[in-house]
Amino acid sequence: MTTITESNISQQLDLSSVELILPDSVQSIVEYPTQDDFPQTGRSQRMYVDLSSGAPYRWSGDHYVPLIQTIDCGQF
């Protein structure tokens, strides 16, 4: 187990060997510079990616829903 400290918090994970398996409901992935650039109305069966944060979203039918929840770890 690695303890996260201020001295190692900037280390990055090597995700080059991670295989991404999309659910059958996702038929395409589209990328936009920011979430503000997403179309006002999204489409189902499509994943939207905010390139400024790398965060993926899906269209719920009336708004964009993040696929990965952010956890606030507070101050170190």
Q: What is the pLDDT of residues 27-45, one digit of tens each?
A: 889 999 999 999 999 998 8
Residue 67 CB: number of other CB atoms within 10 A? 14
Domain hosting residue 58, numbered range? 28-66
Q: Is 32 contained in some domain?
A: yes
Please tell me the predicted confidence (pLDDT) of residue 69.
72
pLDDT digits 0-9 by tens, 49-66: 999 998 999 999 999 999
pLDDT of residue 67: 87
Look at residue 38 and tell me if it is in a domain.
Answer: yes
Residue 76 has pLDDT above 60, yes or no: no
**pTM for this predicted structure:** 0.64
Determine, yes or no, domain membership for 8: no
Residues facing 56 on adjacent strands = 49
As for how many domains the chain has, the answer is: 1
* 49 within a domain of the structure (yes/no): yes
Residue 40 forms part of a structural domain: yes
Alpha carbon distance 28, 13 (integer Å): 26
